[in-house]
Chains A and B, each alone.
Chain A
């Protein structure tokens, strides 16, 4: 089912493990070389930089090719001409992808992603364009089928994410039609998310599914997020008032329950993440804390924004400082030392670019009107307001 040979993917995994062991000084360079020899990988996987470059270039080629097809279809006045052109372009993308894999075995090369995503996108375009009486169900179902096929064949993480969301949308549109559907919806979606989370957490350990482990990890993160979002007060309330627009209710039934869910779930994730030493739970929980803050602030003006920002900043900085001190020597299996995975981010000095981006100096004003800061940067957002 998967496009590459299973043995090669296994060998790739073995080589990566050997690299890790070598970085940690567990095995000698000779051993690493011997492992590489015994388990050869003939896939073409460039590093991240080249991958991005190839992705952009492939997208340009696809855009111009589909454009060329559309130019040729310009003669026919009906939408059918366009549709045929776009679907032809989509099939061509898949054809090229399959051909490339059989010849040069590109694997996560940027070319793969560009071709697959464009193929799915173009195919959907071909179906949906000027097709006004297509129901939402058909819409979601098409996306679900295409991305599910893409996931199975190419183990693509984005495809699996889109497939999951399309699936939830499909459920959403079914349930909305039954009586009391809107009332049951949050709990149903939460139940599905929980089931998907538990299932993917189990399946990710299965050896038979080892080539899909990245996709399953994506599913774990997403299902945790949808589990929270389905019970989040803001999401539930806004969706409700969107669906029942004429009545425009000011509050939702059992509002306290959703408030409780909103506030409890992220700390629960963090707690479980710390206990199980599970990075997925921990990081998702930390990110969702921001959603708690947002939800509360949206309905209750607890304090002015700037005070909240300053206090939040103090708490974050102080907390991080305390954690660094606490973890000065590793405790309970936690450490502050960077993990052994060598990241591309370090190599490209991404952090320094982010700093330069978030504290930009405003370009020097023409020498006529003095502006605050006169082009000096910083004060992080303060300078712009003066």
Chain B
């Protein structure tokens, strides 16, 4: 806080002497926060440690032997979980504060090593035989359980991406477009279903008041995968694209409605952008395909419609603020 600004405000009579004193006191006793520095160091540390250990193990597999490696991974996993069990806050349906940042990353390390452990078992000893689904299913269940029991959003995100991987889709932010073959019709059905399911989970956790703060993560993944799958459906299906448009329109409407109730700019924006993309694709497939000067009219349509959306968003922003 800037003391000069506040002394000016005091002269104008806008803040009382007592408030001015509090501001000066707070400013003079302000501490320098190392929060982000330490958190980044922890995160980088866990990343490097798990990565480095992984490669070390891989390179020395002949000399160490599988049992020793498995034992080591298991010990690391158990150790991390033990630390978390000792320091955890009692389970609650609400959000629980983690005791310290180290706890969060110990939990992360524990979950990661567990996932590696299961994967290793399957790879080396094919414990689950040919039921490959099981090898993703078990980590997913454990990740969900960990996320709920210890209340960790990062692990919840990992669990959700594992759920999607189990269903056959990659939904991490950078892979959602690059790793998926949306030309595959099956994938589109799965994407739509998964999206609806995740949003339903978000609704459930809010309705039942069970880990309410998880709703954002579920809804975020769900909304994106649903819309992307629906848009892919509009592009690919020759006959049924109208149906996918209706689906997308319904989804956009519901997201919009819901976002207004929560006053969430983010989901309003998503509803508008995906809805607009859907309308544009529909118009492209029905109208612009059959026009003579299609390039010019297409360009003009894009320019004017996008300007329209921009003005719409600006007005909307004011509307939500005023509410």
B-chain residues with CB within 8 Å of residue A360 when the two chains form the complex: 161, 170, 172, 175
Q: Tell whether, in the assembled complex, residue A336 and residue B33 are in contact, meaning their CB atoms are under 8 Å apart.
A: yes
> From residue A147, how far is it (CB to closest CB) to chain B in Å?
25
Residues of A within 8 A of B166 (CB): 364, 375
CB of A64 closer than 8 Å to a CB of B: yes
Given the complex, which residues of B lie within 8 Å of A64, measured CB to CB?
299, 302-303, 306
CB proximity to B under 8 Å, residues A298-351: 305-321, 323-324, 327, 330, 333-339, 348-349, 351
Which residues of B are found within 8 Å of A373, using beta-carbon distances? 115-116, 119-120, 122-123, 135
A27 to chain B: which residues have CB within 8 Å?
Answer: 15, 19, 22-23
Chain A residues contacting B165 (CB-CB under 8 Å) are: 361-364, 375, 377
Contact A57 B296 (CB under 8 A): no
A277 smallest CB distance to B (angstroms) = 5
Q: In the complex, which residues 14-42 of chain A have their Cβ closer than 8 Å to any Cβ of chain B?
A: 14, 17-18, 20-21, 24-28, 31, 34-35, 38
Chain B positions 107-162 with a Cβ under 8 Å from a chain A Cβ: 108, 111-113, 115-116, 118-120, 122-123, 126, 130, 132-133, 135-136, 139, 153-158, 160-162
Q: Name B's interface SS.
A: helix
A-B contact pairs, 22 of them (CB 8 A): A17-B5, A18-B9, A24-B26, A27-B15, A49-B265, A50-B269, A57-B306, A57-B309, A61-B303, A67-B299, A283-B37, A313-B51, A324-B38, A333-B31, A356-B154, A356-B160, A357-B172, A364-B133, A374-B122, A377-B162, A379-B112, A382-B57
Residue among A58, A323, A376 making CB contact with B38, cutoff 8 Å: A323
Q: Could you give, for residues 53-83 of chain B, a 1 whenever the CB lies within 8 Å of some chain A CB and a 0 otherwise?
A: 1111111000000000000000000000000
Q: How far is the CA of A79 from the CA of B170 in the complex (A)?
A: 45
With contacts A364-B133, A374-B135 taken as known, whether A313 is within 8 angstroms of B48 at the C-beta atoms is yes
Flag if B310 contacts A317 (CB, 8 Å).
Answer: no
Contact A334 B31 (CB under 8 A): yes
Asked whether, in the complex, the Cβ of B56 is within 8 Å of the Cβ of A357, the reply is no
B34 touches A327 (CB 8 A): yes
Residues of B within 8 A of A34 (CB): 14
The verdict on A349 contacting B44 (CB below 8 Å), with A24-B26, A286-B37 known, is no
Say if the beta carbon of B102 comes within 8 Å of chain A. yes
A347 to chain B, nearest CB (A): 8
Q: Which residues of B lie under 8 Å from residue A382 when comparing CB positions?
A: 50-51, 53-55, 57-58, 116
Residue of chain A at shortest CB distance from B53? A310
A98 interfacial by beta-carbon distance below 8 Å:
no
Instruction: Determine if B265 and A372 form an interchain contact, defined as CB atoms under 8 angstroms apart.
Output: no
Query: Can you name 14 extra interface pairs (CB under 8 A) apart from A309-B48, A337-B31, A357-B174?
Result: A27-B15, A27-B22, A27-B23, A47-B265, A47-B317, A68-B299, A307-B52, A320-B102, A352-B157, A361-B161, A363-B180, A373-B119, A381-B50, A382-B53
Least CB separation from B133: chain A residue = A364
Assess the A339–B1 pair: CB atoms within 8 A. no
Partner of B132, one of A58, A306, A338, A374: A374
Query: Does A179 sit within 8 A of B, measured CB to CB?
Result: no
Q: Which residues of A lie under 8 Å from residue B112 when comparing CB positions?
A: 359, 378-380
Residues from chain B with a CB closer than 8 A to the CB of A378 are 50, 111-113, 115-116, 119, 139, 158
Q: Contacts A310-B48, A317-B45; is A375 near B135 (CB within 8 Å)? A: yes
| A365 vs B166: C-alpha distance when bound (angstroms) | 10
* A334 in contact with B52 (CB, 8 Å): no
Cβ of B14 and Cβ of A38 under 8 Å apart? yes
Task: Count residues of chain B with CB under 8 A from any CB of chain A.
Answer: 104
A104 on the B face (CB < 8 A):
yes
Q: Are B41 and A319 in contact (CB under 8 A)?
A: yes
Q: A335-B31, A356-B160 are known contacts. Are A35 and B9 too (CB-CB below 8 A)? A: yes
Tell me if B46 counts as interface (CB < 8 A to partner A). yes
Q: Which of B253-302 contact A (CB under 8 A)?
A: 265-266, 269, 272-273, 295-296, 299-300, 302
Task: Tell me whether B12 is interfacial, beta carbon within 8 Å.
Answer: yes
- Whether A355 pairs with B59 at a CB distance below 8 angstroms is no
Residues on the A chain within 8 Å of B153, using CB: 349, 351-352
Residues of chain B whose beta carbon lies under 8 Å from any beta carbon of chain A? 1-2, 5-6, 9, 12, 14-16, 19, 22-23, 26, 31-39, 41-59, 100-102, 105, 108, 111-113, 115-116, 118-120, 122-123, 126, 130, 132-133, 135-136, 139, 153-158, 160-162, 165-166, 168-170, 172-175, 179-180, 216-217, 220, 265-266, 269, 272-273, 295-296, 299-300, 302-303, 306-307, 309-310, 313-314, 317
User: Smallest CB–CB gap between B144 and chain A, Å?
Assistant: 13
Inter-chain CA distance A324–B39, complex, in Å, is: 10
A67 to B299 Cα, complex, angstroms: 8
A192 to B136, CA, bound (A): 56
**Distance (whole angstroms) from the CB of A165 to the closest CB of chain B:** 25
Chain A hits for B46, CB < 8 A: 313, 317, 380
Q: A356-B161, A376-B136 are in contact. Are A31 and B14 (CB under 8 A)?
A: yes
Q: Smallest CB–CB gap between B61 and chain A, Å?
A: 9
Contact A355 B269 (CB under 8 A): no
In the complex, are the beta carbons of A310 and B56 less than 8 A apart?
Answer: yes
Question: Known interface pairs A375-B166, A376-B139. Does A330 touch B122 (Cβ–Cβ under 8 Å)?
Answer: no
Residue among B46, B119, B155, B175 with most chain A CB within 10 A: B119
A247 within 8 A of B: no
Query: Once bound together, how far apart are the Cα atoms of A371 and B135, in whole Å?
Result: 11
Q: How far is the CA of A370 from the CA of B128 in the complex (A)?
A: 11
Structural contact, A377 and B158, CB atoms closer than 8 A: yes
Give the 9 A-B residue pairs with the shortest CB-CB distance, closest first. Answer: A382-B54, A313-B49, A309-B52, A316-B45, A310-B52, A313-B48, A373-B119, A317-B45, A356-B157
Which A residues lie within 8 Å of B50 (CB)?
Answer: 313, 378-382
Q: How far is the CB of B263 from chain A (nearest CB, A)?
A: 11
